[in-house]
Chains A and B, each alone.
Chain A
Amino acid sequence: MSATDTQTPAAAPQDAAPVHKSWWRALMRDRAAMLALILLTIIVIAAIIAPLIAPHDPNLNSRSVMQPPVWTERGTWEFILGTDGQGRDILSRILYGTRLTLLIGLVAVGIGGVIGSGLGLLASMYPKIDPWVMRLNDMMLSFPAILLGLALVAVAGPGVWPVIVALGIASIPDCARIARSIGIGVMGQEYIEAGRAVGLSDWTIFRRYLLRNSISSIMIFLSLRFGQVILIGAALSFLGLGARPPASELGMMAAQGRDFLLFAPHIATIPSVVIFLIVLCANVAGDALRDVLDPRLKS
């Protein structure tokens, strides 16, 4: 397996320092990426200030169930995106649900990113522990995220935290793999040898060269991973393993809506579309960042 590691998509095993300064400007030139970033920012802010802008209590049921959105024939301005099967305001639930969905994605990617890249970078630095880390990785990779999620939920019961932990753990091997390949590239650079020669400690080398030179590439990978994690999290919720009622979470909302698909398709469609938008924005922005930071792919 080791032979494949240097070929991973986000691998940019080179000194990124020169591009570093201009990446923001380069990004600004990519209109799609800018749009994605703006949209993502709006979504994130809306989610953060959800309690301030939500028109209704997301958990309060009204007596008008399955009301369609405002732009349809029977829609009203009271419920802009309509109501769900329990008569709750979908817009409010979307705002709160986005909050929870983003939180799941961020924390899971954070856990996976920190532990995974730590392991990967260490492996790249110390060839002795490398095989062990890689074997551990292979083992963890044998548990696809969704299966790990199922098993953890079976142990801990359905809830947000088991899903976060499962997704976090499932992100570790991929992050470790990427970090390792990036790290190996960095470790092969002359300045590392130079640093060693002047007697810098391992910790200093790790901090000053290895971490600093790999972090941006790792971050790009994480931004792409973020989308995937959100999708798997939504799938787990869809299977009934995620957030518990009355909390709202986008995947769960879509799952609840599938019973109404034939009669009130908006209940399942709206949260699905929001998930799609979040993941799409994360992917487009991540792609653009990679293009900017990985000059080999630039034309």
Chain B
Amino acid sequence: MIETIINRLLVSIPVLFGVLFLGFALVQLAPGDPAAVQAGPSATPEIVAKIREEMGLDQPMIVQFGRYIERLAHGDLGRSLISNKAVSSELAAAIVPTLELMFASLIWSIPLGIAMGTLAAVWRGSLIDRAIMAISVAGVSLPIFFICLLLIQFLGVKYPIFPFIGRGGPLWTVDGLRHIALPALSLGLIFIGPVSRMTRSSVLEVLRLDHVRTARAKGLTETQVILRHGLRNALIPVVTLVGLQIGYLLGGAVVTETIFSYPGIGRLAVGAILSADFPLAQGTILVLALGFILVNLIVDILYARLDPRVQKK
């Protein structure tokens, strides 16, 4: 087990380095002169040139990359060109809200998706199955922004139950919960579809396996069979799916956070990239990629725990 984890960690290092470089290169190529951004609206070209020199932007790219890595090693991510705040503090402020949003969207959508998928598998071919599958296929086909706008329109404006601007506070406070309700509902909705579809097909698959047939033959009730044998095995692909879909979820988070003015990392990343805020853009890309690698690592570990075949390997 530990060996698996160490192995995975070692493999992640070149990946991480590549991600670092890609992120650096992409924002380097971006238009929008960071010195001009720093200098502000009506600065003269001389002022811009002076700032460019101060920022080291006149150095060759490889030197700039080296400096970037060096600073990174010291935990220094630079300062935002726009707000002049330390990138690390901006990131720190944005990570928690995004984690909260992810948590709040997954905590209800995954169990619901699994339940729906299992129900559909058990009564496959029935009306329930068809209804559930229709709902989930519709769910994965809806544009996320449309869901957000509809939710605002109905639960925010027509029946003003939930606020839809910003973050009220930490998740455990009443205000925090009220504010996260609509974003988490929107983001969770796009996740129900994939989870229920995946659960259905993997439960179906598992139900056909030999040991399940044996269990059935031994006289266990259908419910017992499904809970004891089917679901556990069926969870494996679902776990993988969550890992694979985390990027999709992040994409959804970008739109959701933007529409709900929710101060998370997605909104920060969009703002930073669009405003040519180089250090902040690099920082957000780094954090998002790190998060992604981490999630995949966790998925692998969970996978190993859930699937005895992998453990034996």
Q: Point out residues on A near B: beta carbons under 8 Å.
A: 1, 3-4, 7-9, 135, 138-139, 141-147, 150-155, 157, 174, 227-228, 231-232, 234-235, 238-239, 251, 254-255, 258, 261-262, 265, 268-269, 272, 275-276, 279-280, 283-284, 287, 296-297, 299
Q: Which residue of chain B has its CB nearest to the CB of A257? A: B149
- A interface, over-half SS: helix
Does B248 belong to the interface (CB within 8 Å)? Answer: yes
Q: Residues of B contacting A7 with CB < 8 Å?
A: 236-237, 240
B29 touches A155 (CB 8 A): yes
Q: Point out residues on B near A: beta carbons under 8 Å.
A: 8, 11, 14-15, 18-19, 22-23, 26-27, 29-32, 124-125, 137-138, 140-146, 149, 153, 157, 197-198, 201, 204-205, 208, 236-237, 240-241, 243-244, 246-248, 250-252, 254-255, 258, 269-270, 273-274, 276, 281, 285, 288-289, 292-293, 296, 299-300, 303-304, 307, 310, 313
Q: Please name 14 further chain A to chain B contacts, defined as beta carbons within 8 Å, in addition to the given A3-B303, A9-B241, A141-B247, sorted by A numbering.
A: A1-B8, A4-B299, A144-B288, A150-B273, A154-B26, A155-B26, A234-B143, A235-B144, A235-B255, A238-B143, A254-B143, A258-B145, A275-B146, A299-B125
Task: Quote the shortest CB–CB distance from A277 to chain B (angstroms).
Answer: 8
A299 touches B248 (CB 8 A): no
B143 touches A261 (CB 8 A): no
Contact partner, A145, options B29, B251, B288, B293, Cβ 8 Å: B251
Query: What are 15 A-B contacts defined by CB distance under 8 Å?
Result: A1-B8, A1-B300, A4-B240, A4-B299, A141-B247, A146-B255, A151-B273, A151-B281, A151-B285, A258-B145, A261-B153, A268-B146, A280-B141, A284-B137, A296-B208
Task: Quote the shortest CB–CB distance from A188 to chain B (angstroms).
Answer: 16
Task: Quote the shortest CB–CB distance from B66 to chain A (angstroms).
Answer: 21
A135-B14, A144-B288, A239-B258 known; A9 and B143 CB under 8 Å?
no
Q: Which residue of chain A has its CB nearest to the CB of B201? A: A297
A272 touches B15 (CB 8 A): no
B254 touches A239 (CB 8 A): yes
Once bound together, how far apart are the Cα atoms of A231 and B250, in whole Å?
Answer: 14
A268 touches B149 (CB 8 A): yes
A280-B141, A297-B201 known; A4 and B303 CB under 8 Å?
yes
Q: Which residue of chain A has its CB nearest to the CB of B237? A: A7
B274 touches A142 (CB 8 A): no
Q: Which residue of chain B has its CB nearest to the CB of A296? A: B205
Name the residue in B153, B246, B304 with the highest tally of chain A Cβ atoms < 10 Å from its Cβ: B153
Q: Residues of A contacting B289 with CB < 8 Å?
A: 142-143
Task: Quote the shortest CB–CB distance from A97 to chain B (angstroms).
Answer: 13
A276 touches B270 (CB 8 A): no
